[in-house]
Amino acid sequence: MLRVMLVDDTQKDVSLLKETLVAAGYEVVAEEKSPAALLERVGEVQPDVIIIDTNSPSRDVLEQVVIVSRDDPRPIVMFTDDAGSDTIQSAIRAGVTAYIVAGMQPERLQPILEVAQARFDADRALRDELKNAQDKLAERKVIEKAKGILMQQKQINEEEAYRLLRREAMNRNLKLLEIAQQVLDVARLLS
């Protein structure tokens, strides 16, 4: 069962929305009248999805979305009346997963939440993949620099430098990256 937090930044009655969510099998774990301190409330109730109903997302609302998306990411669906292109772009950059204009129709709610969850999962997978690639590239740079230092200091070729790093890593039961970083640290100390 998907746990939903409702944030109503309007004067509208959201009881129909809540009823629709419950009827669709969702659990409404919190109803907030303001997005202020959203991160704190998200931490307390741990919803799977956040639904924000707002006439037009204010800077304060978007700031709270940015904080949640950075510190405790999860799908965020925003229902609004503001169809302005700049507002839409700002909301998406802030971390809104689905930006829905022109009100909420109860029959559309479940597909919207499913799409928001799927998009969030896809975005997270891409971010994780990018981070892994960046980490591997950074590791490779450290190893390449360490090989260069060994090649220069010991007058050996690249393959021999790599074997030397690998052998030392195995002998000391450390990762190749750790040995390479130690080589760089010593070289920096001695330069």
Q: Which of 28-32, 45-49, 102-106, 117-121 has the least mean pLDDT?
A: 102-106
Q: Is there a single domain that holds both residue 94 and residue 150?
A: no
- Which residue from 34, 61, 51, 42 is spatially nearest to 110, judged by alpha carbons? 51
Query: Whole-angstrom Cα distance, residue 184 to residue 152?
Result: 13
Query: Whole-angstrom Cα distance, residue 71 to residue 189?
Result: 37
User: How would residue 163 be classed by pLDDT, with cut points 50, 70 and 90?
Assistant: very high
Q: Nearest-5° angle of CA 93, CA 95, CA 98?
A: 100
Q: How many domains does the chain have?
A: 2
Average pLDDT over residues 163-176: 96
Residue 146 above 80 pLDDT?
Answer: yes
Phi-psi region of 146 (alpha: psi -120 to 50; beta: other; left: phi over 0): alpha
User: How would residue 12 be classed by pLDDT, with cut points 50, 70 and 90?
Assistant: confident
Are the CB atoms for 146 and 177 separated by under 8 Å?
no
Domain contains 111: no
pTM here is: 0.75
Structure tokens at 83: 């169809």
Q: Is there a single domain that holds both residue 16 and residue 99?
A: yes
User: How would residue 33 be classed by pLDDT, with cut points 50, 70 and 90?
Assistant: confident
Are the CB atoms for 43 and 72 separated by under 8 Å?
yes
Q: Which of 12-16, 86-90, 99-103, 157-161 has the least mean pLDDT?
A: 12-16
Identify the CATH number of the domain in which residue 145 sits. Answer: 1.10.10.10
Average pLDDT over residues 43-67: 91
Supply the mean pLDDT for the chain. Answer: 91
Domain contains 179: yes
